[in-house]
Structure formats: structure tokens, C-alpha cells
Chains A and B, each alone.
Chain A
Amino acid sequence: MIRLEHVSKTFSGQNEVHAVRDVSLHIAPGEIFGIIGFSGAGKSTLVRCINLLERPTQGKVFVDGLELTALGEKALRQERKKMGMIFQQFNLLMQRNCLDNICFPMEIAGVSRGRARKQAMELLELVDLPDKAGAYPAQLSGGQKQRVAIARSLASDPKVLLCDEATSALDPQSTRAILRLIQKINRETGITVVVITHEMTVVEEICHKVAILDHGEMVETGRVEDIFSNPQTDAGRRLVYPDGVALEQLPTGRVVRVAFNGNSSYEPLVASLAMDCGVKVNILGADTRSIDGKAFGTMLLGLPQDGTEAARALAYLKGQANVTVEEVRDYHG
């Protein structure tokens, strides 16, 4: 549905900023695709390269088989109407009431007033705010504003929904409600969703696939459970384990990260390690998260300082099914 080919965006000026560097990715129809990274990683620029709010300095952008980067302004505006977008700050028209906000894209598309109002009412029902038609954005809470923004973004019946930090200005409860709403819309309409966020929890909650962006580069991409259970890059590890562990402070020798892939997370691994091969290890940190109903846990284990014992423990851990073991060498959180 969305394909980026070697997309780069450089902001020229006194100091050149390489916001996005050579990103290629493919997002399948109906997928919820997360793009995660720390602030300044270029996520917002990248998502704006999809609907060409930012024109890439290099590379090609395809949406639904059409190369957007080859279109003129007028044709591009036509294509943008097939893509909805929601924002961190909602960006509703403050002088229009909710119903008229939702009517706005239809007005632009030339839909008759009567039909637009009817459809806007239906959309308000969908986002569960049927009684707020006449209310102005200033009278709504953050979560309600984002619901109206979602309804507005769906008004032009788009094939793609771009979410730029859509929940970052919301409290945890509203965040969950908004995420659930996006998930519901994705399931019911098969709309392709791109979610930009700096929060791992958002990705865990709704995304099927995820790409990690670091300093404008896409350093990792794949299924959420794979990335989560076994991040390969420094940026990936910092996002998955935001609290981190500073190795210098650990009393033990070698440190390994053990990731439980799916079903095995509650098996008493540490106890069986002690019983089966007589090695005691320190649990330096542990975390279990549920992704799409399945439990995924990680544990940071400090191996004994004795070399042979450590090697034995490592061999034992590596022999376990459904467990990935990885030695942590210079991990500073």
C-alpha cells in the first residue's frame, strides 16, 4: 500500500539537517505499521514524506501503486484526499463546531452539504461522540478532540491513516481508548495505518510491524514481537528497555539478556538453572509485556564471575527451547 524507496530529506540552511536518510520500507494493505524513535529521530519528517507535506530531497514514494513524488501539485492534492492524517495537537478548526469540522474534508471534495452532514453524524457515532455535534473544540477534552480529528480524517473515506504522535498529548486512559478506536477502525475497514510514536507501549498495543528510526536512519524493522523479544541495535534496545541497566554497577561478571519468545515466560528458568547445573545467577532486571495476547518477557541475568560456571550457565540457557540468549557487552542503557 505504501512503499518508500531510498527516501532522504535534508533541510538546507545554515546547518544542514539530515532528517531522514535513505529509508526504504514497505507497508502492506490493512497493516498497522509503527515507526518508533526518540525525539529528533526524524519520525515526523518521515511520515510527512508519505503524503508529501515534506517533499523528499531524494527517493520515491508510492501509495497504492501510484508514485506520489512524480505528481504535480494538483494531482497530489487529489491523492492526499485519499489519506487521512491525525496529529499530536489535534489541529481542529477552532471556529467550527465538531460536525462542521468533520464536514470540512467533504466540503473540500465537493460533497453536497446534506450528504456531508449525514455522513459526519455517522462518523460521530463511530467515534462515540454523537451528542457533541454542535460543540466547539474548545469545549472538548483532549481525548474527545482526537476522536473528532479521527472522524474528520475518515470523512474522505481514505485508504491510509497517518497518525503523528496521536496519543502523545493524552493521558494514559485516553491513549488506550484512542488506540483501541484506531484498532477497531483498522479491523472493520481494513484501512492501512501508520503510527508515529516515541512510546513502545503504543507499538505493543496495536502495531503489527514496526520500524525503528534513529538519527534519520531506519535501523531495524520487522514484526513487533520479533523486535521486542530480541532487539538487534542500540536504539532498539534503548526503546525496548527504556530504564536500562548500567553495567559498571553490577557486581557480577558477564551479563546476558534472556528473551522468552511466547509461551515459556513463566517457566521457572532461574530455579531450574540452579538445580540442573548448580549455578546461581543474579536477576538484574526483568520485564514481561503482553503483545497481542501473548506474553513476552526479558530478563537480564548476571552470570557468576567464575569462568567455567558462567560458560556452563550460558550453555544451559542456550539449550532451552523458546528462549533467546544474548550476551550484553557494553550496554549502558
Chain B
Amino acid sequence: MDKFLSQMTEIFTTPKYLEEFLDGIWETTYSTVVSTAVAFLLGLVLAVLLVVGDKDGVRPLPTPIMKALNIVINILRSVPFLILMLFVLDLSLVLVGTKIGTKAAIPPLIVAAAPFIARLVETSLRETDRGVIEAAQAMGCSPFQIVWKVMLPECRPALISSFTTSFITILSYGAMAGAIGGGGLGKTAINYGLYKFNGAVMLVATTLIVILVQIAQAIGGHLAQRSDKRLR
């Protein structure tokens, strides 16, 4: 206990630690925001393909294409994140020029999260009222207009919720990435906490991650609710 207290005191009195935590917060936020933005966009496109291209969708695609798409998404979703990350790190080398650090973790995070987001968004899009889609078709909407002007706007609250969930999932993946060379608070908790038997650092780093998650959920939940015109 004495050891823990002295470690805690050290954290708040040593500039080195404060700097480490501030960097951690910045790196985590940065890599999560960038990864979520790209992964969500990719996931959204995949989800639209899954829903629209379905045999009952507004623009059915050939069955082999749909089958292949589903299989690829399922495979990417079933590979454990750390394993997937090791594979994708080579891609990082090509894309961002390094296999370690915050930037290196971004491509694996995107590859890991996009299929997950695709399924999440697919579920929301499928819940678009069939009747509203039918009304749009009766008005002469093209499949693209139905996606862009009906499905996506009608699902806006669900999409905001999905974005929030994606952000939080990627944040926790990012913390895991700290174990194999990623940056951020995860790295701080593992390198300075776990490996150096420093319980206080581990606790503070974890607490900071928890706080980030709480903030993200609060903002996302609020925005989703405010954007939903069905509730009033």
C-alpha cells in the first residue's frame, strides 16, 4: 500500500509522468478519431452495399458478389484483433512508413473495425420503414436517391449511435494495440504500468480511458437523441 501511495505521489509530482499521460490522451484521441472516421465511412459503404444489394433490396446485386462480400466481412470479424493487427502492420509500413507508434496502429484499427461497423450500420439501415422506401419509389426515386435522401437521413439517429459505439470499440482496440507497439494510453498502462510493476500508472491510465469512453458516450447519446424527430 505504501508503495502504491508513493507511486501515486510520484505521478503527480514528476513532469515526466504528466507529460506521458498528456501525450497518451492526445495519441489515443487522435488515433481513435482518425480510425473511427475512416472505418465508419468504409463500414457505411459496405453496409449500404449489403442492404441495397440484397435480393429484396432497392438495387439487387448478383448473388455471388453478395456472398463474397458477406464471407469477407465475417472472416475479418472473426480474426482476433491482435492477430489481425500483426498481419496488417505490413500494410502500415506501406501506408504510414512505420510499424510502431500511434500512426502505425491506425490502419489495423480501420481494417478491424470497418467490418464490425458494416454489420452495425446494416442492422440500422434494414430498419428503415419499408413503406417509406416504397413511397419514395412511387415518387420515382432512383436507388441512389433512396439511399442518400431516404435511408441515410431516416436512420440518422441510429447512425449517430452506431458511430458512438464504433468510436468506443476502436478506443478499446487502440488500448490493446499498445501491447504490440501502438501508442496512446494503452501503451502507457502496459509499458509504464504492467511491465514496471507500477500499479498507480496502470490505474491512472485505465481511469483516463474510462473517462474518455464516458465522454464519448454522453456526447453521442445526446446528439442521437437531439437529432431524432420522432421523439417529440
A interface with B by C-beta (< 8 Å): 51, 53, 77-81, 83, 85, 87, 89, 91-97, 104-105, 107-109, 136-139, 156, 162
Inter-chain pairs besides A85-B135, A96-B153, 12 sampled, C-beta below 8 Å? A77-B140, A85-B138, A85-B139, A87-B131, A89-B131, A91-B132, A92-B135, A93-B153, A94-B230, A108-B141, A136-B229, A138-B231
Task: Provide 7 A-B residue pairs closer than 8 Å at the C-beta atoms, listed in order of the A residue.
Answer: A53-B134, A93-B154, A95-B156, A95-B229, A105-B140, A108-B145, A156-B140
A124 CB to nearest chain B CB (Å): 18
A108 to B229, CA, bound (A): 22
Interface string of B145-177 (1 = CB under 8 A from A): 100011001101100000000000000000000
Cβ–Cβ contact A136 & B154, under 8 A? no
Partner of B230, one of A83, A109, A138: A138
Cβ-defined contact, B149 with A94, below 8 A: no
Q: Is the CB of B139 within 8 A of A80?
A: yes
Most buried by A among B129, B138, B142, B232: B138
Chain A CB within 8 A of B137 CB: yes
Chain A residue at smallest Cβ distance from B135 = A91
Contacts of A80 in B (CB 8 A): 137-140
CB distance from A103 to the nearest CB of B (A): 11
Give the shortest distance, in Å, between A199 (CB) and chain B (any CB): 20
Closest to A77 in B: B140
Within 8 Å by CB of B232, from A78, A81, A83, A139, lies A139
Q: Which residue of chain B has the shortest Cβ distance to A97 in the bound complex?
A: B229
Which B residues contact A (CB, under 8 angstroms)? 129, 131-132, 134-142, 145, 149-150, 153-154, 156-157, 227-232
Q: B229 — which chain A residues lie within 8 A by C-beta?
A: 94-97, 136-138
Which A residue sits closest to B156, measured CB to CB? A95
Contact B140 A95 (CB under 8 A): no
A17 CA to B134 CA in the complex, in Å?
Answer: 21
A105 and B154 in contact, given A91-B129, A92-B132, A138-B232 (Cβ under 8 angstroms): no
Output the least CB separation between A218 and chain B (Å): 23
Expressed in whole angstroms, the Cα–Cα distance for A258 and B139 within the complex equals 46
- CA A170 – CA B154 in complex, angstroms? 24
Q: How far is the CB of A11 from chain B (nearest CB, A)?
A: 13
* Contact among A79, A87, A95, A156 with B154 in the assembled complex (CB-CB below 8 Å): A95
User: In the bound complex, what is the Cα–Cα distance between A95 and B156 (angstroms)?
Assistant: 8
Q: In the complex, what residue of chain B is closest to A81 when comparing beta carbons?
A: B140
A92 to B150, CA, bound (A): 10
**Nearest CB to that of A86 among chain B residues?**
B135
Instruction: Given A87-B131, A108-B145, check contact A94 B154 (CB 8 Å).
Output: yes
